[in-house]
Amino acid sequence: MATSKLLVSTLRKSLNSPSPSSSFRRFSTAAAEAVAPASEPEDSLNIKGVKISARPLYLDMQSASPVDPRVLDAMLPYYLARYGNPHSRTHLYGWESDQAVETARSQVADLIGASPKEIVFTSGATESNNISVKGVMKFYKEKKKHVVTTQTEHKCVLDSCRHLQQEGFDVTYLPVGNDGIVDLEKLKGSIRRDTGLVSELNVSFHTDAAQALGKIPIDVDKWNAAKDKGGAPNEWGGQERGIRSGTVPTPLVVGMGAACELAKKEMDYDDKRIRALQERLLNGVRAKLDGVVVNGSVERRYAGNLNLSFAYVEGESLLMGLKDVAVSSGSACTSASLEPSYVLRALGVDEDMAHISIRFGIGRFTTEEEIDRATELTVQQVEKLREMSPLYEMAKEGIDIKQIQWAQH
């Protein structure tokens, strides 16, 4: 631990030293504690053709989030001194890494109310979803041929379901309401005798909890799920009880365990604080702008995710105009597509409004100053774009734009 603290201290000192090429500022969570020189350089950053005066403030926490320094402290010894392979059974280095992995496994299990034996470490959420969805159905393929999912699932889950369809399985894609919530009566009505993947008696259950872990309470024992029926085919190598082969990366697993332990201790505090920041952002924007729509349920949502649509504004122009705020229009896995968010379309959002949605992601290290600055910049950019919008002028004059018959030339 002393070694890790010394390294972190040295790193911070070097990053805090003024440098001609440094362009950090004390405003962004992206720079965390390793921040800024006294004055910014005159030359702006030019990344992918976009000129940026300095590092933007960061409000894209659903795509990626900064590592908690306490988690980094837990990880560093396994990069610098305790670097043994956890699957090496013949010496101290392997033993201590194996012990660290099992401790992390217990920390993750403790957060979600599971047994350590039920925790399988993978490379990430996409792999986990593929193993779960495909693995369960292939395990039950002789008796179960039907999957129930929703139209708003993550792309990797939907892609896994389409893959199963190509192999002869039947998939039901349930619609959701305007608030994004599934009608439980429709869910019950969709379950058949040969359904293999939903939460119901004699049917296995799967949920993509990547965005929920550590943010809202999870207790898998209350899901009545068949957690001991992972069902994935065995792989060569044998690690993770044959479900997921490959050397377990000890530092990353240790970091996961430390993050889960912190989340259990601080979840209530984080939730209250993040909820207050979300309300501050939403109220600040609505106080200055009309035509602002919250996509999804206002009450039944994770407070750190605020998805807003701004009427009479072109979405790409708004995103480009907000270059001093790191936000997105949706999942990073689909951000390369020019199509409107399929999740918003499933919620019944009009295509034009789905094209102009912005997702603000708030996290543990987001500050009130950042929220206020993001509000200010968002309002400025929306007002600027609306000044150039004839549609906004027509709307202010009371013209119902949806009733206009546009002539084609």
State pLDDT tens for residues 225-264: 333 333 333 344 557 666 777 889 999 999 999 999 999 9
Instruction: Give mean pLDDT, residues 3-20.
Output: 50
- Examine the pLDDT at 221 and tell me if it is beyond 70: no
CATH architecture of the domain with residue range 267-396: Alpha-Beta Complex (3.90)
With tokens 């990547």, the residue in question is 210
High-pLDDT (> 70) share of the chain, %: 70
pLDDT at 156: 87
- Is residue 46 within a helix (H) or strand (E), and if so which, with residue range? strand 45-47
CA-atom Rg of the chain in angstroms: 24
- Examine the pLDDT at 333 and tell me if it is beyond 90: no
pTM over the 0.85 mark: no
Instruction: Give mean pLDDT, residues 200-213.
Output: 54
For 298-325, the pLDDT digits (tens) are: 888 888 999 998 988 887 888 889 989 9
Q: So where are the chain's domains?
A: 2-56, 72-259, 267-396
Q: Is the dihedral of CA 206, 210, 216, 218 positive or negative?
A: positive
Beta strand pairing call for 292-294 and 195-197: unpaired
* Contact (CB, 8 A) for 330 and 309: no
* Contact (CB, 8 A) for 195 and 149: no
Selected residue with higher pLDDT from 367 and 224? 367
- Examine the pLDDT at 284 and tell me if it is beyond 90: yes
- Examine the pLDDT at 199 and tell me if it is beyond 50: no
Selected residue with higher pLDDT from 211 and 67? 67
Selected residue with higher pLDDT from 336 and 147? 147
Closest CA to 125 of 206, 236, 235, 221: 206
Q: Which residues belong to the active site?
A: 333
Instruction: Find the Cα–Cα–Cα–Cα dihedral 204, 210, 214, 220, rounded to 10°.
Output: 0
What top-level class would CATH report for the domain 72-259?
alpha beta
pLDDT at 22: 40
- Examine the pLDDT at 392 and tell me if it is beyond 60: yes
